[in-house]
C-alpha cells in the first residue's frame, strides 16, 4: 500500500486527489473509500492504486 495525504477534496462532487509520499498525485473517487471513513483535506491515508484511463487512481482508501 502507498501512503499519502489528501491534497484536495470536493465533498459535493465526491472526488479529489491524494499526494502520495512518492510525490505522485492519484485521483480519488468516493466510491473507492472504505465504508465509514470521512475524507478531509490534509488527512493521512493509505491506499492501493490502479492505472486508470486518465492516469493513476487510488482504491481501497483508508485513513491512518
Domain locations in the chain as residue ranges: 2-63
Q: How far is the C-alpha of 20 from the C-alpha of 1, rounded, in Å?
A: 11
CATH of domain 2-63: 2.40.50.140
Q: What is the pTM of this model?
A: 0.92
pLDDT at residue 20 in the model: 97
Condensed to tens digits (0 to 9), the pLDDT of residues 2-43 reads 999 999 999 999 999 999 999 999 999 999 999 999 999 999
Amino acid at each position: 500500500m502507498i501512503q499519502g495525504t489528501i491534497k484536495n477534496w470536493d465533498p459535493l462532487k465526491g472526488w479529489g486527489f491524494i499526494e502520495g509520499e512518492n510525490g505522485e498525485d492519484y485521483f480519488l473517487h468516493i466510491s473507492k473509500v472504505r465504508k465509514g471513513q470521512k475524507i478531509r483535506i490534509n488527512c493521512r491515508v493509505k491506499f492501493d492504486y490502479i492505472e486508470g484511463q486518465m492516469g493513476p487512481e487510488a482504491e481501497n482508501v483508508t485513513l491512518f
